[in-house]
Amino acid sequence: MLALALAVAAGTLFAADMKTTKPTAAKDALECAPGEKSACGLPSNVVIDMSKAKIQRTDAEWQERLTPLQYQVARLQRTEPPFRNAFWDKHDDGVYFCVGCDTPLFDSSTKFESGTGWPSFYRPLEKSFVGVERDVSLGMIRDEVHCTVCGSHLGHVFDDVPRAKGKRYCINSASLRFMPRKNYDAWVAQSTVVSTGK
């Protein structure tokens, strides 16, 4: 799966002019209504080493590719409001992709209702696609998660679900794009043909 997604993503590799990203101050974060913030809802202040990302784009290219909300969340590590985002209550069968690079990140079969107002998953589709960095900002200790292929901020991961299930990957909808199962199966078949020539 890793080789397949990277082969598809490799066609969109760009030269970079930005090696790291540092989010702006928390006061500039997307705001939630009073009483709605949880550990998921606070912005991330982790500095991600973008030189490790396989897909790199200039800031102008990111802004052209993403909607303003997607850019704020995925590239500036801000947080969308809970219960007012695209996927918190979505129950369709399919796969969630990164908005930054179209890498498949989470399967709907691992999605669950966490009560936080953000889509939550027990585990990533492919562990190597989701990086984790310790976030000790805002007087808290959290683990920020991001796409390892393009560096886009996804959300945070927590150890507050039964260990047998996995973890709670609390993810911003703005960092995701959903593909229904039949479209995903067709995409995998097409990508296999492209990468193997068969």
Q: How distant is the alpha carbon of residue 111 from its chain centre? A: 14
Is the Cβ–Cβ distance between 99 and 152 less than 8 Å? Answer: yes
**And the tokens for 3?**
């080789």
Give me the helix-helix angle, 181-196 and 2-9, nearest 10°. 80
* Catalytic status, residue 170: yes
Positive/negative CA dihedral, 26, 32, 37, 43: negative
Is the Cβ–Cβ distance between 143 and 194 less than 8 Å? Answer: no
Among candidate residues 40, 98, 101, 170, the one labeled active-site is 170
Contacts made by residues 193-196, CB under 8 angstroms, sequence distance 24+: 194/7, 194/8, 195/3, 195/4, 195/7, 195/8
Positive/negative CA dihedral, 165, 171, 173, 175: negative
Is the Cβ–Cβ distance between 37 and 80 less than 8 Å? Answer: no
Active site residues: 170
